[in-house]
Structure 1
Amino acid sequence: MHTQRAGNALAAFSFVLWGILPLYYQFLPRADINDLLALRIVFSIPFMLLVMLLLRRPFPKASQIWQDKRSLMMAGMAGLIMCVSWYAFTWAITHDQVLEASLGFFINPLFAIALGVFFLKEKLSKAQSAAVILGIVGIGYQVWHYEELPWISLIMGSFFAIYGLCKKHIRYDALTSVTLEAVILAPFALAYLAITYVNQTSTALSVDISTLMLYIGSAPVTLAPLIFFALAISRTSLTMVGLMQYIEPTLQFLLAVFLFGEVFDQVKAVSFGFIWLGLLLCSLEALSSLAMRRLRTS
């Protein structure tokens, strides 16, 4: 019981950290996203190695990693996919589009459900089916009124769901997997930084030291919640983690509307409302299933 409570607390804390990330990026308005992504990849490696050292999780030997070539390939693919989702997220929160980022994470579970049906042959419950339909209606309503797709939200939500699907096929532990994702992409990130530095087109490498440190700091601030999330997974149920994941986009939504002053008009209210209703149905179903399991075991 104490282990599960600790797991719940770790999971909640990880989602709170993710939720308040826009506060950090307010110090990097209109940041060069390419430089930001490259520096994040490079400095993720020493940060992750330090975390593994502190947690006494030895990094596997190269021979052990090479034995599972499928997981190694999937880790590289997962890293690339995460780059797309992270790129869209970072662009949104550095260009006054935090509401778009929030919407992306709210619709992510709907993409995850769809991927589960198509690739893992999972069957939809009534609540999940209703959530998918309501999500489509919500996005459709926004498209109808604005006459354009919410591309940032859709890219974030879909690619993060695909990232989760890739992770299901990786047999390394969570910390090793995240570290490998950065290691595989690091040569490309270093090559990009070297080329832009030589050509004097790099923004991050030509700014003052304090701004450069903010660019580099994007690695630990984005990886810290991932560490707490990885520690939580082994201590609590996936149902609880699934329910608590809405902490993140909710905090981002509140920051966007009440702190950053982004416009939350009638169209967005209706669109979000349909999506929230679908997520509420899924949450109530998950809570009901959890209560039933506890009754059976008590």
Structure 2
Amino acid sequence: MLLRSGIALAIFSYILWGITPLFYRLLPGAEPLELLAQRVIWSVPFLLLIRFIIKNKTLWKQVWADKRSIILCLFSSSIMAISWGAFTYALTHGQVLAASLGYFINPLFSILLGVVFLHERLVVAEKMAVLLIFSGVSFQIWQYGELPVLALIMGSAFAVYGLIRKFIRFDVITSLFVEAVWLLPIAFVIIGWLSANDLSAVFAGDWSIKMLYMLAAPVTIIPLLFFTAAIKRTTLTVIGLAQYIEPTIQFLLAVFLFNELFDWIKGVSFSLIWLGLLCCVIALLHKRYTQYHKRVAYVTGRDKTPQL
């Protein structure tokens, strides 16, 4: 029962993330810096409220004592700002397909970072995934003669963010709160500069615009709450498979609802990337299968190797 609820929560969280382009369509042409600043400012009280409500959290005494994690939150918040900025720019400037591509190619960067920094060894399926995803992106660059900059920024930034988060010892909500606090001074500077130069859409807009900018924070964080709950109730295999729901929904919205250009070049490129993702799924399932049987063998006494 617990596993089924975890699967449902994981799927629901990625569906919510997947349909976020529908919200950002209400803010066409929004200034990414102002949207990012407002998102940070309203995230702080929202996360603080959530932290007050949840039970399993890092105590403030433990937070202040862990200077290493606080500093790591500074770096992760900087990467998060880059990822957020590129993502919101794509969603508010008619480039949802680029956002979808960014999250589809994210596993490529995650795999490469794992090899370089965590000394992980690739199985055959993962090597095939890297080759296919790289080929898909390269084909698009070759045909269009330009880099898919937004997609590459999102895919790489999110992978780096995930790598840094592996070394932060705070719970998810606390680490997000610390990250937002690090960005808070910059957010106030951006808002102050924009308002002083009469460039602020929030100050110039009506209450509906103000509310939409304010809602950017909970729109991002609420799916994260369901995701956090899912992690505690299901396996990493489920999370790994469910993560492709988000870019798939964004892809479908971009092509069939927002009528973004999807020509034969992108068709070939995405097909190669999807084949690469299939290899990622196969590799993930194989790893979990192998780990499961090793644990079974150890418990039943057939394998005396200590399980980490």
TM over 0.5: yes
Query: Which of 115, 118, 127 does residue 117 from structure 1 map onto?
Result: 115
Query: Shift of the alpha carbon at 1:292?
Result: 5.4
Q: What residue ranges of structure 1 are gaps of 5+ in the alignment?
A: none
Alignment size in residue pairs: 296
Letter in 2 for 1:54: I
Query: Shift of the alpha carbon at 1:55?
Result: 2.5
Query: Shift of the alpha carbon at 1:120?
Result: 0.5
Q: What is the aligned partner in structure 2 of residue 54 from structure 1?
A: 53
Matches of 1:261 and 1:269, distance apart in 2: 15
Whether contact under 8 Å (2:40, 2:180) holds in the other structure is: yes
Matches of 2:115 and 2:290, distance apart in 1: 24
Whether contact under 8 Å (1:7, 1:235) holds in the other structure is: yes
Query: Which of 148, 151, 154 does residue 153 from structure 1 map onto?
Result: 151
1:168-183 equivalence runs, <5 A: 168-183=166-181
Whether contact under 8 Å (1:115, 1:162) holds in the other structure is: yes
Matches of 2:284 and 2:179, distance apart in 1: 32
Query: Shift of the alpha carbon at 1:286?
Result: 2.4
- 1:29-65 CA distance string (max 9 Å, x none): 000111100000010011112222333456632x432
- 1:19-38 CA distance string (max 9 Å, x none): 00000001000001111000
Correspondence 1:27 to 2:7: no
Matches of 1:214 and 1:118, distance apart in 2: 41
Letter in 1 for 2:254: A
Whether contact under 8 Å (2:19, 2:249) holds in the other structure is: yes
Q: What residue ranges of structure 2 are gaps of 5+ in the alignment?
A: 298-308
Whether contact under 8 Å (1:44, 1:220) holds in the other structure is: yes
Correspondence 1:40 to 2:39: yes
Matches of 1:108 and 1:13, distance apart in 2: 20
Letter in 2 for 1:80: S
In the superposition, the TM-score normalised over structure 1's length comes to: 0.95
Q: What is the aligned partner in structure 2 of residue 272 from structure 1?
A: 270
Matches of 1:227 and 1:41, distance apart in 2: 17
Q: What is the aligned partner in structure 1 of residue 63 from structure 2?
A: 65
Q: What is the aligned partner in structure 2 of residue 136 from structure 1?
A: 134
Partner secondary structure for residue 105 of structure 2: helix
Query: Shift of the alpha carbon at 1:201?
Result: 2.4
Q: What is the aligned partner in structure 1 of residue 4 from structure 2?
A: 5
Whether contact under 8 Å (1:75, 1:177) holds in the other structure is: yes
Matches of 2:287 and 2:64, distance apart in 1: 40
Letter in 2 for 1:26: R
Q: What is the aligned partner in structure 2 of residue 214 from structure 1?
A: 212
Query: Shift of the alpha carbon at 1:238?
Result: 1.4
Letter in 1 for 2:197: N
1:254-293 equivalence runs, <5 A: 254-291=252-289
Matches of 1:204 and 1:32, distance apart in 2: 10
In the superposition, the TM-score normalised over structure 2's length comes to: 0.92
Q: What is the aligned partner in structure 1 of residue 305 from structure 2?
A: none
Matches of 2:106 and 2:67, distance apart in 1: 29
- 1:92-142 CA distance string (max 9 Å, x none): 111111111000000001100000000010011111111001111111110
Matches of 2:190 and 2:261, distance apart in 1: 36
Q: What is the aligned partner in structure 2 of residue 165 from structure 1?
A: 163
Query: Which of 186, 189, 207 does residue 188 from structure 1 map onto?
Result: 186
Letter in 1 for 2:34: D
Letter in 2 for 1:38: A
Whether contact under 8 Å (2:69, 2:170) holds in the other structure is: yes
CA gap of 1:160–1:115, structure 2 versus 1, over 3 A, is same
Q: How large is the Cα RMSD of the aligned pairs?
A: 1.7
Matches of 1:48 and 1:165, distance apart in 2: 22
Matches of 2:56 and 2:196, distance apart in 1: 38
Matches of 1:251 and 1:14, distance apart in 2: 12
Matches of 2:57 and 2:293, distance apart in 1: 40
